[in-house]
Amino acid sequence: MSATTSNETAAPDLSAIARPPQVLNNRGPLWVTDAVCSIVEGKTPLWWYAAISVSGAFAAIGGACILYMIVTGVGVWGSNSPCFWAWDITNFIFWVSMAHAGSLISALLFLTRQKWSISISRAAEAMTVFAIVCAGVYPAIHIGRVWFVWFLFPVPNSYGMWPNFSSPLLWDVFAVTSYLTVSSLFWFAGMIPDLAVLRDRATTKIRKFAYGLVSLGWLGTARQWRHYEMMYVLLAGLTSVLVVTVTSIVASDCATSVVPGWHATIFPFYFMVGAVYSGSATILTLLIPLRAIYPQLKELITPSHLDKVCKLLLMMGSCVAYVYVFELFNAWYSANPFERGAFWERFTSSYSWYAITCLSINLTIPQLFWFKAVRRCLPLVVVLAILCNVGMWFERFMIVTTTLTRDFLPSSWGNFHATIVDILTATGTVGIFFTLFLLFIRFVPIINMSELKAALPGSQPHGDSAHSTGEGH
Amino acid sequence: MSNFFPRWANWLPLQLLVCVLVVGAPITLGVWYYFTPKYTRVGYQPDQPVPFSHALHVKQLGMDCRYCHSFVEVAGHSNLPATQTCINCHGEGKILSNSPRLAPVRESWKTGQPIPWVQIHRLPDYAYFNHAVHVNRGVSCYSCHGAVNEMSVVYEAESLSMKWCLDCHRSPENFLRPPSEIFNMDWHPSSAAEQRELGTRFKEEWKVNPPVNCGGCHR
Amino acid sequence: MKKIFQHPARDAKPTLWRTQGELENSAEFNESLAREFTDAASGRDAGEGLSRRDFVRLMGAATALTGVGLTGCRRPEAHLVPFAKGAEWTVPGKFLFYASAMPTPAGAVPLIVTTSDGRPTKVEGNPLHPLSNGSTDAFAQASVLDLYDPNRSKEIKHDSLTVGRGDLDNLLAKIRATAGSNAGDGLAILVGRENSPTVERLRAALVQQFPKILWVQDEAISSRGAEEVFDAMFGAGARPACDVAKADVILSIGSDFLNPAESGFGFANGFAKRRDPKGSMNRLYVAENHFSLTGGMADHRLRVRASEYGDFAAAVAAAVASKTGDAGLKSLASAYKGTGVTFDPAWIKGVADDLLSAKGKSLVLDGAQQPAAVRALVIGINAALGNLGTTISVRQTGAKPAAKLSDLCAAIKAGSVKTLLILGGNPVHTAPAGLDFANLLARVPETLHLSLFTDETSKVTHWQVPAAHYLESWGDARSLDGTVCSVQPMILPLWNGISAIEILASLAGEKIDGPSAVRATFASYSKDASDAAWQTFLKNGFAAGTAWPLSAPAFNQGAALAAVQSAKGSASGEFEVVFLRSSSVDDGRYANNSWLQETPDFVTKLVWDNAALVSPADAKALGIKDGDWLRITAGDRYIDAAALIAPGHADRSVSIALGYGRNGVSHVMEKVGFDAYPLRDSSTLGYRGGVAVKALPKDAYVFARTQEHENMEGRNIAREGTLGQFREEPNFASEMDGELPKPVSIYPNPPLTGDLQWGLSVDLNSCIGCNACLVACRAENNVPVVGKDQVRRGRDMAWIRIDRWFASADHREESLEMIPMAVMCQQCESAPCEAVCPANATVHSEEGLNLMAYNRCIGTRYCANNCPWKVRRFNWFDYNERPLDQLYYGPLAPKGMADSLKMAKNPNVTVRMRGVMEKCTFCIQRIEEAKIGRAVKAGASDVTKTPLPAFKSACQQACPSEAIVFGNINDPQSAVSKAKADARTYSSLAYLNTRPRVTYMARVRNPNPAMPGADLVGAANRRNEHA
């Protein structure tokens, strides 16, 4: 009854300054639970089988190519002198960069209490983990003698020698592995309460057992919540630090070399912004179709959420554009013939079309997101987001391979031609990514229910229960 | 709200930890020890076509290593003696000239076919060890081959792992000997202190500076 | 807890084999040979004696090391097999060196052959020899591979049935018998032009026994025509002896005299001696139709079509004559009926004046294959310049004239040849097409071919006899100056090859017993025929004082005039085709040698192919790009060949190397290049005018080149200047760096504490780009061959490459210059590659070496990306273990290299497996051997006070012009220290501050200010002084 009074007085100005709701139509917690769990609990749709068999096939072919490469020699790829690295490292950087957006969005935005990210964070983290898996494929197999890869790990041995700690490549190994560990922990930790919910709702024995196992006996007691919250904050902190360090280390592969076009201090920032850029693009590419397939998600992943991701994309895209311009300026300003030559060749050599495609996409597409109309037209957003990732792949190729084809001595200049093995290995990683993501959709709550419910109006005991309706009362 | 885990499961993490320590550590250590040259090589003692006893020839008869391994001071390889060398003493009408144990030697001498000695001390082919430079610069046979003069059947006494090589290359003073004692398998410094004192002196005087970079042994 | 365990008992009868005995005299060697191979095949450690390094196999040992091997399953039991009887001189694992020589038509190459445990593995020049500076050429270096080539013909065949040595002996006996009855009527013997005293002696013996015998000498590429002029002018058997070192001004008219294969040894060295800008520098004018090594060194170069060399010579002659008023020369010049083409008068005048200014100290040279008229004109000019007797002398070889191939063909046509023994060459492939040799050969009732390989000729002769390689047979050969060199066998014939000498001797009824025939010859020319003298002959590798006598020739106007008049004029309009000696396969004799096939052409950098070289202008006119097909029609014959645009090539002229396009002979030469022999006639051996060239509408042919980009892009990589520039600013080269950044490095530089510090200097002024270093490195360091397809993909493995730069200050063909630049690992003191290797596989030694531990490398390839010189090579496949045409089959391809090829490997260098990076380490195996030698000598004394045994890096040792100097830069007296102290020294990419241990000495050209375009000479870096 007091509600009504406060309603009359506060309503107009409140609605004016009110944050857009996390969940539309004032849905309550129970509805949220049903909505999310139904995706997992419902009957497996046909499209899912179709999709996973396709992606699985690609993954399998990719695996076969990798096996062939290992038993035959790195020569089955198009790599050569001067392009000792080509698609392998291009794809590695492409995937590992994409990975960063996920953790960044969930961890950083969680720490900064940006509630809008809740409904997309789970999918974003999943995307992160799967992308790292894809990225991890390459450093593991691209070397000449995989069976000696343990030389990279500082373990005591009968040689009485250690790896070279000044090599960025060594730190790559450490960085990527620790990033994989932490981000998957972060992802999994976030899921525990939701898995417990699935466990409790489970109808069959097997599901009960399985979800029971992975929810680690979650009871949702106040004590557990206290520890849980603490751990989650710590992991979030750790993750967001790793996001930065890992990109910087990967960037130092290029930055610490002497190759003109690589040897630049801007690279860590370059890779960071590129990472979040391609990451947010991927999130859009994944979530919007998902909303279309599962209509109930439309109320959980609201247009305003996607709008914010679009804005993030816009911002990072602009940063990327800035870096492009800055790079060119730098090359010119350095007055160093090799630097200048590298960039001149980048746009004039037989590889110019890579650079031109890359720039024409990454300089223009993100800028479209200045327009609300574009941001709100979701089908268009998907198309543009995919384009952004294409642009990013070309950027990675431009940085890694095109740069290598034209270095110091023109006598050693050469060209790179991808072989079928290169291509199938790359598509293989795409296959791996989507296979994992499909499994994710099917068996895990794709939205962080617990957090979301906590963020619902009225869920806070001392929050204004005035606006909460339905189960709220 | 049924809980899948029983109460005791709360102790599971601790139990797991203990388990890892109790089971894991020995496994690690076991692999560490039993899979490294220190174990896999040391003690390798194949039976040879001819039961030649270093103990007899060197210890009892006092023969010098270089009587048979004649090129050790000039060549990278320490050669095995030609059948000829054996025949010098064991030839017609000489010592044990018709002992059945020496049959392979006589056979070889007759047919001109070499005696297929079984290799014991074997470095990987990418490791280029040179005997001459070691024995001429104060490293005794003993340091790598052990007390061969005590062995009736030769076995591998040291691990010959890279780390083992580097131990000496990094601090040769612990092994250098007086030039006169290189081939004297019975010479031992009275104390570690004496060894260090001698070794350090030789290292200074002879400018012994063994390579510790790859190029020293890998080409 | 040391446990003693018994090895599982050995199987009852172990496989036996022995190390190679010492030389020819170890009796058991022969029968042990077969076992030698089974051993090599067994792939087990060959024990003390045969220490082969098989990298793939040792991976097994490596894994055992790293802890995968279990005590139960130890590494496979290996045996050490000492000699039964010690072999004289042999110390297991130590090299033995023997003096020998490689016979070639251009004169024997005096050699020191390295044998390890009885296997010749490497050849070096013999510095004792008066003509040799201890260097070799690419062909000599690669000849080792020919010895072990598994494709060699291995059996005596009669009508393609394998027969025994006995049958051959019977045949020879029969031939001898019939010859005895009919005074050798119908017996013809065809030999090459390697100049062997023993062959000459046996020839004399045969001719004396069988007067009617037909003795034919032939080489596909020879200076026969020119020699006739000499015979006519200076008496039979007179040969020119040029001393380039004495010449201040040199004019080369289509003569590639700096190429050892072309003109024998001594030229490159003598020339290089006169290129030091601090000394009295010579000047070189070159008129040629295609860029040759010599053209690359030219101070002034004129593009002249081969068919116009005569006109050019006549023009110069006229100019000289008009100056000196030499009537004789004038008459010669006017007597020449050429194409009537005219040349830039300023150019001609400039050259003539310069030549005259150096009267008696100048030299005019012409190409070996040019017609008599040109040679006559050139001699005329030299005579007028007073060079006869100073820079050009004559050696009286007293060589008896032999019949030509054309005479043989005539005889066959006349049906007067019943038996033909072909003891040299491959005439079916190389004979001038006009002779129709192949068909004529079929008419001869009995034919025999002695050859290393079953080639085109062996396929059609009744008898095929495997020839013994010069490294496995007794012989002798005269070097360019006539000095007799000994040819000793290093190993018994691997496949029972027979030498020409053995065959001739048995025909002559001599009993062959080892060196007996050669020894008999030695007795004939040596004052002292004692055993001691013979031993000295073998030990030194040559008989001192056996050079042909030198004499100052008197010019013979009449003969010259006659020769000049022999030239008949021709129209200059249409195309000409020029036949080149291939820098890789010579006239085709080395086509089976994969080392050479993969050695880039001097100028085009083409591997595994030849090409029809055309000038850019012609290419435009014909509307073709690289790889497009041309049909070259000469008379009633034509060939189709893919074209390659060659900067600096003369217009309306096509050059094509001989010896390619030999399909169906062996898989090595399959689908390699295009055969140009069909266009050749006896009258047009060097070049052929009046040919038609048209482009064919076919898909472009794919070439593999080791260098695609020949423009320095304004970067001062190879640096050059002019003599004037050098005199006023000696360190002009290092000044081109402009302002360098401060030398700071965030990585701690390795401590360079060693008392020896290694460095290397390349003098671009004497580096002629002859590939000798490249092949020497391949032989020394077991560098694998990867095949055309892999090279095309940019996977060439050569540790040292020769970058060939074209530079033209005004972008005109006329002022185009060529600069070859040898690039090997620069051994940077702060090396970019070292910082980035995660496995510590490439580290720095305290002696300034950038080391590469193959067994530690895991193949991240980061080091190569970070190498500014791109000198690191990666084993993309198992190049040593898999057939090159099945690299992509992976495990499905057969594994393992031919047994005989294993014998060619240098036992002191690891054979790398797939997946590892490799590169030049300044021949670390030689460095370590030297250091060990020093330490052994020092014994219980201060090693640093002991002198280091003298040694050279493989590239340095092979370099004919001594352009590469390697050594200890800590010793101020060392040659390398002196070289690095030179004002011309600069380090490439200095701005990177990697402090390379390899430095370059800038090239200095010596232009003649009076010449047109003189200001454009030596201006390769002009447009970009401070880049």
Q: pLDDT tens, B133-169? A: 999 999 999 999 999 999 999 999 998 999 999 999 9
- pLDDT class for A101, splitting at 50, 70, 90? confident
**Inter-chain CB proximity A167 and C887 less than 8 Å:** no
pLDDT for C817 equals: 92
Distance from CA of C500 to the nearest CA of B (A): 33
Question: Which residues of B are less than 8 Å from A193 in CB distance?
Answer: none
Nearest chain C Cα to A165, which residue? C838
**Nearest residue in A to B170, CA atom:** A160
Interface probe, candidates C936, C941, C944, chain B, greatest B C-beta count within 10 A: C936
Q: How far apart are CA A140 and CA A149, in angstroms?
A: 8
Distance from CA of C867 to the nearest CA of A (A): 8
User: How much is the pLDDT for C519?
Assistant: 93
Digit-coded pLDDT (tens) for C260-288: 888 888 888 899 999 999 989 999 999 99
Q: Which residues of C touch B213 (CB under 8 A)?
A: 843-846, 851
Q: What are phi and psi of A210, to 5 degrees?
A: -60, -55
C736 vs A: CB within 8 A: no
Using the Cβ of A168 and the Cβ atoms of chain C, whether some distance falls under 8 Å is answered with yes
Average pLDDT over residues C694-719: 92
Predicted confidence band at C369 (pLDDT cuts at 50, 70, 90)?
confident
CA nearest to B37 within chain C:
C65
Asked if A410 lies within 8 A of C715 by C-beta distance, the reply is yes
A160 CB near a chain C CB, below 8 Å?
no
Tell whether A206 lies on the interface with B, counting CB pairs under 8 A: no
Query: Considering chain B, what percentage of its residues have pLDDT values greater than 70?
Result: 98
Mean pLDDT of chain C, nearest integer? 87
Are A167 and C836 an interchain contact pair (Cβ–Cβ within 8 Å)?
Answer: yes
Question: CB-CB: which of A144, A257, A407 is closest to C858?
Answer: A144
Confidence of residue C64 (pLDDT cuts 50, 70, 90): very low
Q: pLDDT tens digits, residue range A112-139?
A: 877 788 888 888 889 989 999 999 888 8
Phi-psi region of C886 (alpha: psi -120 to 50; beta: other; left: phi over 0): alpha
Please judge whether A68 and C890 are an interchain contact, meaning their C-beta atoms are less than 8 angstroms apart: yes
d(C-alpha B189, C-alpha B191), whole Å: 5
Name which of A142, A336, A411 is nearest C803 (Cβ-Cβ). A411
Q: Do A167 and C878 touch (CB under 8 A)?
A: no
- Average pLDDT (C312-318) is 93
Looking at residue A16, what is its pLDDT?
58
Chain C residue numbers with beta carbons less than 8 Å from the beta carbon of A71 are 890-891
C622-667: per-residue pLDDT in tens? 999 999 999 999 988 999 999 999 999 999 999 999 999 988 888 8
Per-residue pLDDT tens for C727-772? Answer: 999 999 999 888 888 877 777 777 888 899 999 999 999 999 999 9
Q: How far apart are CA C735 and CA C727, in angstroms?
A: 14
Q: What share of chain C is helix, strand, coil (3-state, %, to 5)?
A: 30, 20, 50
User: What pLDDT, on a 0 to 100 scale, did the predictor assign at position C567?
Assistant: 81
User: HSE (CB half, 13 Å, CA atoms) of B137?
Assistant: 27
What pTM value is reported for the model? 0.90
Q: Mapping DSSP to helix (H, G, I), strand (E, B) and coil, where does residue C234 land?
A: helix
Predicted pLDDT at B3: 58
Q: Could you give the dihedral angle defined by the CA atoms of residues C96, C99, C102 and C106, in that order, rounded to the nearest 10 degrees?
A: 150
Residue C702 predicted with pLDDT over 70: yes
pLDDT of amino acid C74: 53
- Note whether C82 contacts B79, CB cutoff 8 Å: yes
Q: What is the average pLDDT across A388-415?
A: 92
Q: Which residue from B1, B3, B162 is facing A158, i.e. has the nearest CB?
A: B162
Q: Report the amino acid identity of residue C467.
A: A
Question: How many angstroms separate the CA atoms of A223 and B148, rounded?
Answer: 70
Residue of B nearest to C71 (CA): B40
CB-based contact B4 A217, cutoff 8 Å: yes
* Spatial separation of the C-alpha atoms in residues C624 and A322, rounded to whole Å: 44
**Interface test with chain C among B44, B88, B125, B136, by most C beta carbons within 10 Å:** B125
DSSP codes of every residue in chain B: ---SS-GGGGGHHHHHHHHIIIIIHHHHHHHHHHTSHHHHTTTEEPPPSS---HIIIIIIT---HHHHSTTTTTSSS-PPPPHHHHHHHHSTTSTTTT-GGGHHHHHHHHH-PPP-EEP-S---TT----HHHHHHTT--HHHHH--GGG-SS----S---HHHHHHHHH-GGGT---GGGTT-TT---SSHHHHHHHHHHHHHHHT-----SGGGT--
CB contact under 8 A, C16 and B116: yes
C987 touches chain A (CB under 8 A): no
For residue C452, pLDDT over 70 is answered with yes
CB < 8 Å to A143, chain C: 858-861, 915
The Cα–Cα gap between C453 and C498 comes to 13
Q: How far is C751 from chain B (nearest CA, A)?
A: 12
Query: Does ipTM exceed 0.85?
Result: yes
Q: What mean pLDDT do residues C140-158 have?
A: 93
- A14 pLDDT band, cuts 50/70/90, is low
Chain pair A-C, CB pairs under 8 angstroms? 192
Q: Is A161 on the interface with B (CB under 8 A)?
A: yes
How much is the average pLDDT of C39-60? 35
How many beta-carbon contacts under 8 Å exist across B and C? Answer: 217
Instruction: Tell whether A203 lies on the interface with B, counting CB pairs under 8 A.
Output: no
User: Which whole number is the average pLDDT over A1-30?
Assistant: 60
Min Cα distance B97 → chain A (Å) is 46
Best interface-test mutation with B: which of A148, A150, A158 has the largest number of B CBs within 10 A?
A158
Exposed / middle / buried, residue B151 (Cβ in 10 Å: 0-12, 13-18, 19+): middle
* Å between C2 CA and nearest CA of chain B: 7
Query: What mean pLDDT is predicted for residues C825-847?
Result: 93
Q: What is the least distance, in Å, from the CA of A220 to any CA of chain B?
A: 10
Among A residues 129-158, those touching chain B with beta carbons less than 8 Å apart = 156-158
| pLDDT value of position A1 | 40
pLDDT per residue as tens digits for the range A185-203: 988 998 999 999 998 888 8
Residue B176: C-alpha distances to residues A360, A440, B192, C793, C934 (Å) = 70, 66, 12, 53, 18
Give C853-886 pLDDT, tens digit per residue: 999 999 999 999 999 999 999 999 999 999 998 9
Residue A298 has a pLDDT of: 87
Dihedral sign computed on CA atoms, order C744, C747, C748, C749: negative
Q: Is the Cβ pair B40, C938 closer than 8 Å?
A: no
Give the span between the Cα atoms of C736 and C1024, in whole angstroms.
Answer: 8
